[in-house]
Structure formats: structure tokens, C-alpha cells
Structure 1
């Protein structure tokens, strides 16, 4: 009987030893994977962006009544996640201006649904919003989203009658990572030299681009991880750069320099609206882009908030439409659109 009792005990010890070895091995592998792949941290960033930041204004119910939404249109992308939504004002005409919007999410997260509320607010004021999804990093890397914005534009252009609109007055907009994507896309359309540098063909008649709307974006990609925030968020931004540009040491890549639209804008860049929060965002890069565009003689409307006066306004503050800063920004956007359309 003792022998029979001892064998299970010995087997239990052996199994526990094997289990501990496996746990230790998995732990080592996990640390290695964390350090040698952007996927684990990119997954956490993606989770952090889920649900978006939009908080409706008091007028949102009326805005919903004044708009029509067509969801999940396949724009025939060569890449994953190639769908878009259209948000119309109910009284739209064929000549209603069109805004192409690219969502944010650190290049690794976010979704067009995060923009729906803001798109509804804009549409209720007389604009058609083309709200696009695109393939996320690290599965898809730079310049995939830039190419997909072009695909979405070409799809709409090929289906003008189907969707009852024209593209003779267009805007390109984006928030956070989407602001970088849109700003770079527009520079390709308006600078032949830059298009050649990126090796991406221009497809939009630049005379039809009436303006650009940029919210809380990074415009110097090599400075992406130098966001004024905690070390943890800076580390997440390093991961976002790694995921999007495909190399762990991405700061010095030629692609990183090319994607830094701040260093490549020209006098042909369209009129631009730029804003950002004053806490844990890219305010300095936004201000630098304002200066770069103004040096080229480009019309720029900008809105930044003194922390001593307005308090702390975080990344994507503009989507909080139930705040005075959110409302002030929306009104400035409407003013910019009105004078440029």
C-alpha cells in the first residue's frame, strides 16, 4: 500500500515540476515576445481606444433627425477593413461639400464608429461625411492607410450617381493618427515632389480640395514617442511607431522622415484648420505645423487652449461636445468650413 501511495506522490511532484518548467518557459517567451514584437502592446493600445471619446451635445438628438446614415459600404480595397460609412444631411444636394474623415487610434486601434457622432453633427450642418475604416498595424504597416484613403476616394468618384454627390468641393479630415494619415495624403495630392518621394501617385485634383481639418495629430513621426505625457504613454507611442513602420528602431528610418509631413509642406497645401489639447497630446506638433504652413503662405485657422485659462484638455478633447472647449472647437470648424467651401 505504501508503494501505491508513493507512486502518485512521485508522479504529482514530477507533474508539478514539469508544470513549473512550462510556466517559466512561457514567462520567458512572454517577456521576449513583449520586447521583440509590437503585438502585445499594440493589443493593449487597441483595447484602450475601443469605444471612442465622443460625448454628444444637447443638440445631438435633433442632429440625428436631420441626417441619413449608410453603413459599411465596401470600397473595394486591396487591403483588410476596407469599409466606409456615408452620413448625409437630409436636405443635401448634389453640390453639398464632402468631408473624408480618417479615424484615430494610434495606427493600431480605433474604428469609424468612433467618429459617427461627430460626423452626424457635421452632416446636420450641411456636409456629407465619408467616414472610412482602414487596416490596422501591426498586421498592416505604413503606408497602407494612406493608400486606402485613396481607394476610398476613388470608389466614391466612380459611384457619384449611386451616392448622389459630387467631388468638386472636398475636405480631408482626421483625428490623432487619422490626422497624420490625412495630412500626408493631402500633401501627396498637392506636391508632385512629395508624391515622388513617397512613391504614391496623386489621384485628387488639388483644385477641388477646399480644406483640411486636423485634430490632435502627430505631424513629425520621428517625434511620435516624445508626446508630453507619462513614460507609460510614451512607451505606448514607441510601440505604435514600431507597429506602423514595421521596425523596432523606427525613429531613424527613411520612411519615418518621409511620413513627417511637417517637414514637407509647400505653398500649395490647402487651407487648414488645426487644433489640439494641452495635456498628453501633440500640441507642440500642431503648433509647429501651423508655423510651417504659415511660412509657406497657407491659410491656417488654429485653436489651442492655455492651460492656465482653460484647465487641462486631453487628447481628442474635441469629441466631448458637451463641454465648452468641444463646442468652441466645433463652432470654429464650422466657421472654417463656411469661409473655404
Structure 2
């Protein structure tokens, strides 16, 4: 009986020790929470509208190209109409995927990018580094690198570098909005510390779908606990500090 008690006590001690280590990991770093939430963002097969196969046949896709960047995730897919009028240059939509700043991939844009390309646009679906390795303002900087690369490949791919639209959904919308603010708002590049890139012509527009444009709303103490946990994970992971709620970066990223 004493031996059984010792075994039970040992097992309980091990379980308690593991629980304390795991709990401490969640307290000292945003990484464990990011891994949990990232798994929740895993996408299934994109929903395709009726007769999508007919649309797909009109579009050419070149996948997994690279744009110049020192960051790890710097690939993009280019969608274009198969038939382009002679001597024409296509207006360009550079799209930034969503995923809560911690997940997502350009492949999730395949359906939407195909639909836009079928309407006569060149659509670039880009990847970027996300938290915790891609801390703020890495994604915004990478969007600038991608837009700069459009001019470098414009002649080869028949793109019009004078007609560039940036767009994104969810986290991608915030990234696109902040890039647009840097490019178009006097003084914002200096105050945010994000370098404004040289462009031949101003941005033609921005397509912003459901983005978190006001980071101060992440600190809502009345939100459900799971939402507060998620927001704390994103804020800590993206802004790179546990005291993210009072950091100047949070206010700079609030493009409203």
C-alpha cells in the first residue's frame, strides 16, 4: 500500500510540475498561445462559386516567385488574364492575406485572386513574416518591398507600375491601410519610423476588408476572456513587448 501511495504521489508531482512549466511558458512568452491560435486559423479548401472552373481557365497563375527581402517569408503568386490585349499593361492589385498577424498564407487567396484577375487585373498574393518572428512593422515593410518589386518586373510581366492598388483582408487590411497611410499622409512615415518607398505614381487605391484599424480596442477589459487572451497574444507577439498596451507602436499602428 505504501508503495502505491509513493507511486501516486510521484505521478501527481510530475503532473503538477509539468502543469507549472506549461503555465509558466504561457506567462513568460506569447509563443505557446500563438501556436494554439495559429492552429485555429488553418484554412480548409476555399469556397468556389458556381462555374468557377470556367473562370479559372481564363486566368494564368505563376506561383512561388520571390520578391527581394531579408525576411523569411517573401514569396508571391501572380494571377493574370490569359489573354492580354497587345501592348497593354495591367493594373496591379497587391493583396495581403489575413490570419491575425500570426497565421495565413497566400494560397488561401486563390479563389478571390482568380476572380479579380478574370476581370482584367494582375493580382499579386503575397506572403510576409508574421508574429512572433515578424514583429511590427515587418509586414508593412514587406508590403513596401513587394510594391517596389512590381516596377522591377513590370515590363516582363506586362504590369502597369503607375496603377497599383494595395488590399487585404483582416490583418492584411490593417497592413495595407498602414502602408497606404505611410505613402500618402505627410509626416506619418517619420513619426511611425516606417520608410516611405519611392513610387512612379501615387497609389491608385486601397481595398480594405474587415481590418483591425484601431489597436486601442484590443485593450477592452469588458470583452470575453477568450477574446482578451487572443488580443493579448496578438499584441504581445506582434509588437514584441509584454507591455504592448502602453507601447507607442500600438498607437502608431492604429491607422484611424
What TM-score comes out, normalization by structure 1 length?
Answer: 0.69
* Residues in 1 aligned to 2:219 and 2:62: alpha-carbon distance in whole angstroms: 37
Task: Give 1:197's aligned residue.
Answer: 191
* Residues in 2 aligned to 1:227 and 1:95: alpha-carbon distance in whole angstroms: 50
Of 48, 60, 68, 1:56 maps to: 48
| Higher deviation after alignment, 132-141 or 218-227 | 218-227
Task: Give 1:210's aligned residue.
Answer: 204
- Say whether 1:125 aligns with 2:157: no
Q: What are the ranges of 5 or more consecutive residues in structure 2 without an aligned counterpart?
A: none
Task: Give 2:144's aligned residue.
Answer: 150
Of 75, 83, 108, 1:83 maps to: 75
- The structural deviation recorded for 1:204 is 4.2
* Residues in 2 aligned to 1:117 and 1:209: alpha-carbon distance in whole angstroms: 25
Partner-residue secondary structure (3-state), 1:251: helix
- Quick one: higher RCO (CA 8 Å, sep 6+), 1 or 2? 2
- The structural deviation recorded for 1:44 is 1.8
Q: Deviations over 1:186-245 (max 9, x none)?
A: 111112300111222211438441110000101111213549974413421221111111
Of 89, 108, 113, 2:107 maps to: 113
* Residues in 1 aligned to 2:44 and 2:232: alpha-carbon distance in whole angstroms: 21
Contact 1:52 1:110 in 2 (8 A): no
Task: Give 1:183's aligned residue.
Answer: 177
What TM-score comes out, normalization by structure 2 length?
Answer: 0.90
Partner-residue secondary structure (3-state), 1:209: coil
Partner-residue secondary structure (3-state), 2:49: coil
Q: Deviations over 1:53-111 (max 9, x none)?
A: 84221142222111011111111211111111101111235421100000010000111
Task: Give 1:249's aligned residue.
Answer: 243
Of 12, 26, 31, 1:34 maps to: 26
Of 23, 35, 48, 2:15 maps to: 23
Partner-residue secondary structure (3-state), 1:261: coil
Q: What are the ranges of 5 or more consecutive residues in structure 1 without an aligned counterpart?
A: 1-5, 263-341
- The structural deviation recorded for 1:18 is 4.5
Matches within 5 A, 1:159-178: 159-178=153-172
| Higher deviation after alignment, 51-60 or 151-160 | 51-60
* Residues in 1 aligned to 2:15 and 2:107: alpha-carbon distance in whole angstroms: 39
Q: Deviations over 1:222-275 (max 9, x none)?
A: 21354997441342122111111112231221011011111xxxxxxxxxxxxx
Larger radius of gyration between Structure 1 and Structure 2: 1
| Higher deviation after alignment, 223-232 or 99-108 | 223-232
Q: Deviations over 1:159-185 (max 9, x none)?
A: 222322121111000100000000000
* Residues in 2 aligned to 1:61 and 1:204: alpha-carbon distance in whole angstroms: 39
Contact 2:148 2:199 in 1 (8 A): no
* Residues in 1 aligned to 2:20 and 2:61: alpha-carbon distance in whole angstroms: 49
Partner-residue secondary structure (3-state), 1:192: coil
* Residues in 2 aligned to 1:226 and 1:96: alpha-carbon distance in whole angstroms: 44
Partner-residue secondary structure (3-state), 1:71: strand
* Residues in 1 aligned to 2:26 and 2:73: alpha-carbon distance in whole angstroms: 26
Q: Deviations over 1:19-38 (max 9, x none)?
A: 54333211101111122221
- Say whether 1:69 aligns with 2:56: no
Contact 1:74 1:84 in 2 (8 A): yes
